[in-house]
Amino acid sequence: MFSRKRLLVAGSLAAVAALSLAATAESDAPVEDPKSLVLALVPSQDQGALVDTAAPLTDFLTEELGIEVTGVVSKDYQASVEAMGAGQA
């Protein structure tokens, strides 16, 4: 089981990695800063517990990044991938 601190660190690293990848995408158009982020979370056990555990992470990221970060729990990994592909996460 992960501690809240470990979850915050892991989530922060994931968010930074995602932002870095988005910033390095090849395009001629200038990249604008996002107005909000949706963090897709994949449950390993209890979905409800993950929502409660993710709240401190999304609150922390919102405060540190200065934009609204929302956590959504998908039913499985594939649903998260599809949400990312559709621009929903």
What is the set of domains in the chain, with CATH numbers?
1-15+36-89 (3.40.190.10)
Using only the alpha carbons of the chain, give its radius of gyration.
14
Spatial neighbors of 4 by CB under 8 A, at least 6 apart, are 53, 56
- pTM exceeds 0.75 for this model: no
Q: Which amino acid is it at 43? A: P
Three-state SS for 32-74 is CCCCEEEEEECCCCCHHHHHHHHHHHHHHHHHHHCCEEEEEEC
Nearest Cα to Cα of residue 61 among 15, 5, 10? 15
Residues 18-77: tens digit of each pLDDT: 666 655 555 567 778 888 888 888 877 766 667 677 888 889 999 999 999 988 888 777
